Structure 1
Amino acid sequence: MLNKLNQLNNLEILSCSSEEFERYGKIISGYDFNELLQYAEKNTNIPPNGNIYVGSVDDMEGIAPLFSFLKNNFYGGMDVQIGYCNGNNSFLNGLEYHKSSEINIAVTDLVLLLAKTTEIQNNEVNSSLVKAFFLPKGSAVELYQTTMHFAPCKVTNDGFKCIVILPKETNTEISLEEREILTEEDKYLFKRNKWLLVHGDKQDLIAKGAFHGISGENIEVKF
C-alpha cells in the first residue's frame, strides 16, 4: 500500500515506523487495543459524504481495564475521552493542535498529514512544510502536543476509520465571542483545547471563526 501511494503522489508518504515520524510522535506499545478496535470496526460507520467526529463514546470508554490504564498511566490521572473520526477526507484542509498528546488508532489504513507548531511563522504555516505518514490498520500512535494534525486521509474508496483519544472535553464547544485576545496564539483557539489554522479552501470553517493560517497548496492524498 505504501509503495502504491508513493507512486501516485508527488508528496512523499513515509511510514509511521520511520525515523522521521519521531519528530511528531511515536508508536504506542504496552496497551491492548484489540477490543477497542473490534468495537470501532463493528459499531461505527463511515458517512456517505464528508467526515464524522464523535469525541466521547460511552461503550468505548467502558472497555476495562483499558480505560483506567489510559487515564491513570498514559494521561497521568487526567480524565480522558475515547471517540472516533471516520470519513472520506483526502485533503489537508486544516491543522490543529492541543495542549496535550493525542492518541490515534488506525481502524483502517490511513494517512496523517502533520506539521510542527514551531513552523507557524507570522500566524501562518506553509503547506510545503507538511509531512505525510501512513498508518497501517491496527497501529496506534501518540501525536505530541507540538504536532499539528487534522482529519486523516483515506487510502481506499471505502473511506477511513480512526479512534481518537484525548483529555476529557477536548474539541467541545466554547464561546469564541468571549475570547480576550492577549497573544497571537489566542486567535487560533476554535474549541476547547483546540487551536486551529485552516486553508483558504475551508471557507465554511472560516465563517464559523476558524483562523485562516495555511498558505500554499491544499494537499490532496491520491490513491
Structure 2
Amino acid sequence: MLNKLNELNNLEILSCSSKEFERYGKVITGYDFNELVQYAEKNTLIPSSGNIYVGSVKEMEGFAPLFSSLENNFYGGMETQIGYCNGNNSFLNGLEYHKSSEINVAVTDLVLLLSKTTEIKNSELDSSTVKAFFLPRGMAIELYSTTMHFAPCKVTNDGFKCIVILPKETNTDISLEDKDVLTEEDKFLFKRNKWLLVHGDKQDLIAKGAFHGISGENLEIKF
C-alpha cells in the first residue's frame, strides 16, 4: 500500500515506523487496542460524504482495563475520553494542536498530514512544511502536543476510520465571543484544548471562527 501511494503522489509518504516520524510522535506499545479496533470496525460508520468526529463514546470507554491504564498511566491520572473520526477526507484543509498528546489508532489504513507548531511564523504556516505519514490498520501512535494534525486522509474509496483518544472535554465547544487575545496563539483557539489554523479552501470553518492561517497548496492524498 505504501509503495502504491508513493507512486501516485508527488508528496512523499513515509511510514509511522520510520525514523522521520520520531519528530512528530511514536508508535505505542504495551497497550492492547485489539478489542477497541474490533468494536470500531463493527459499530462506527463512515458517512456518505464528509467526516464525522465523536469525541467521547461511552461503550468505547467501557473497555477495561485498557481505559483505566490510559487514564492512570498514559495520561498520568487525567480524565480521558475515547472517540473516533471517520470519513472521506483527502485534503489537508487545516491543522490543529492540543496542549496534550493525542493517541490515534488506525481502524483502517490511512494517511496523516503533520507539521510542527514551530513552523508557524507570523501567524501563518506554509503547507510546504507538512509531511505525510502512512498509518496501517491496527497501529497505535502518540502525536506529541507540538505536532499539528487534522482529519486523516483515506487511501481507498471506502473511506477511513480512526480511534481518537484525548484528555476529557478536548474539542468541546467554548465561547469564542468572550475570548481575550493576549498573544499570537490566542487567535488560533477554536475549541476547548484545540488550537486550529485552516486553509483558505475551508470557508465553512472560517465562518465559524477558525483562523485562516495556512498558506500554499491545500495538499491532497491520491490513491
For the aligned pair, the TM-score class normalised by the smaller chain equals: over 0.9
Q: Distance in 2 between matches of 1:89 and 1:22?
A: 25
Gaps of 5+ in 2: none
Amino acid at match of 2:148: M
Q: Distance in 2 between matches of 1:5 and 1:37?
A: 24
- 1:10 corresponding residue in structure 2: 10
Q: Distance in 2 between matches of 1:180 and 1:158?
A: 42
Alignment of 1:42-191 (within 5 A): 42-191=42-191
Matched positions, count: 223
Secondary structure of the equivalent of 1:133?
Answer: strand
Task: Give % identity.
Answer: 85
Deviations 1:23-63 (A, max 9, x none): 00000000000110010000000000000000000000000
Q: Distance in 1 between matches of 2:141 and 2:205?
A: 27
How far does residue 87 in structure 1 lie from its aligned partner after superposition?
A: 0.1
Amino acid at match of 1:89: N
Q: Distance in 1 between matches of 2:11 and 2:192?
A: 32
Q: Distance in 1 between matches of 2:181 and 2:115?
A: 24
How far does residue 135 in structure 1 lie from its aligned partner after superposition?
A: 0.4
TM-score, scaled to structure 1: 1.00
Secondary structure of the equivalent of 1:142?
Answer: strand
- 1:26 corresponding residue in structure 2: 26
How far does residue 14 in structure 1 lie from its aligned partner after superposition?
A: 0.1
Secondary structure of the equivalent of 1:137?
Answer: coil
Q: After TM superposition, what 4+ stretches of structure 1 lie above 4 angstroms from structure 2?
A: none
1:40 aligns with 2:40: yes
TM-score, scaled to structure 2: 1.00
Q: Distance in 2 between matches of 1:32 and 1:199?
A: 36
